[in-house]
Chain A
Amino acid sequence: MSDPMGIDKVEASDAELVRRIRTGDIGAYGALVARYRDRLGRYAVHMIGDREDAEEALQDSFVRAYRSLARCDDPARFGAWLYGILVNRCRTTGARAARRRRMFVHDADALNGATRPEAVERLEWTDAVDRALARLAPEYREAFLLKHVEDLEYEEMSRLTGAGVSALKMRVKRAREQLQKFLREAEHV
């Protein structure tokens, strides 16, 4: 059978993949999805707090990005552009998910029925973090995740969210303060 289209030999750049997609090579989009799935998925999971909703938001965002690929002005920055779509999509889910927010567990140990004390402690910490994150106002959570987990610069965050840089800095600061407060409360329970 014919070779996979060179993708396995040398990692094609986002710009190259976008170029191929625009000529009708839908398989190249599969490569982009695989490339960004986990990274964007992490943001969605933390932002929305519900894995199912997060995966749905992620899926939706990928589909939307494909359908509006003509509007991606700079294919070399496809990742950032895709982030913008996801950030917006997570905002609409957030309201729904908030009404039935439940905690999920990242830890593989938990899935195996952790009984070791260290594992239990790690579970409790993971839960505490999730709970604290969930208590943040959505715009604080969004800013905190984009800055500290996704490592974006404030200028980039401003482009994605539409908020000004100083407003974003304030949100991140508030988020930090509130997380400390919530986690202290959790420790003293």
Chain B
Amino acid sequence: MMLTALLIVAQVAAQDPRLERLDPETRSLVVAVVDSARAAGLPTEPLVQRALEGATKGAPGTRIIAAVRRLTVDLGVARTALGPRSTAPELDAAAAALRAGATPQLLSELREARQPPLTMALSVLADLVASGVPADSASAVVLALAPNAGDADLVEFRRAVERDISLGAPPGAAAAVRALNTGIRFTGADAGPGQPPPRPPSRP
């Protein structure tokens, strides 16, 4: 059994020499996860990269395995929500959106609302949450913008919200105000009446 496992590990490692950066025990577990992901038709490159990130950052093997497993689960949920024709970049971005708090339901709605590829829309959603916009607000905003906004529009929207936040605006309000200014009605949880972001305190 052990010999078989070692042979399998050797085989896959030979296929992807990058994984040799991991210690043997971690490597064998990662390889197992990657293989089952491949068998399930999920993209494997994001999994390999997550493992390599952990290796470079000196993370313990258990944490690397946990991260790779979690990503695999997210990719699987994303694939179920987005459908079998979704691309690897779409699934990767969808996994990030799920990790940010988007629901599988939202992913499906996004798929209905927008022409593929969905990569940028999903990515912007995750990025908005990363800058502090509550997940339900970010989801609502992206879904509202999805039908008509191009990728560049979404990117500009995200940048505008981030600028407002950096100037002191509460993140949810920043997203709401920007969405309002695009003429789209927004009903997220903390959408206040449209207000400009507060001016920063004056310097001496």
Residues of A bordering B, CB below 8 Å: 51-52, 111
Q: CA separation between A91 and B202, bound complex, in Å?
A: 21
Q: Can you list 5 A-B contacts (CB < 8 A)?
A: A51-B203, A52-B200, A52-B202, A52-B203, A111-B204
**Could you tell me the dominant secondary structure of chain A's interface residues?**
helix
The 5 nearest A-B residue pairs measured at CB: A52-B202, A111-B204, A52-B203, A51-B203, A52-B200
Q: CA separation between A51 and B203, bound complex, in Å?
A: 8
Q: CA separation between A51 and B204, bound complex, in Å?
A: 9
Q: CA separation between A51 and B202, bound complex, in Å?
A: 9
Cβ contacts under 8 Å, B202 to chain A? 52
In the complex, per-residue mask of B174-204: 1 if CB is within 8 Å of any chain A CB, else 0:
0000000000000000000000000010111
In the complex, per-residue mask of B123-137: 1 if CB is within 8 Å of any chain A CB, else 0:
000000000000000
- Chain A residue nearest to B204 (CB atoms) is A111
Q: CA separation between A50 and B63, bound complex, in Å?
A: 52
Q: How far is the CB of B79 from chain A (nearest CB, A)?
A: 38
Cβ contacts under 8 Å, A52 to chain B? 200, 202-203
Q: How far is the CB of B160 from chain A (nearest CB, A)?
A: 15
- Chain B residue nearest to A51 (CB atoms) is B203
Cβ contacts under 8 Å, A51 to chain B? 203
Q: How far is the CB of A69 from chain B (nearest CB, A)?
A: 21
Q: CA separation between A51 and B200, bound complex, in Å?
A: 13
Q: CA separation between A52 and B202, bound complex, in Å?
A: 7
Q: How far is the CB of A42 from chain B (nearest CB, A)?
A: 17
- Chain B residue nearest to A111 (CB atoms) is B204
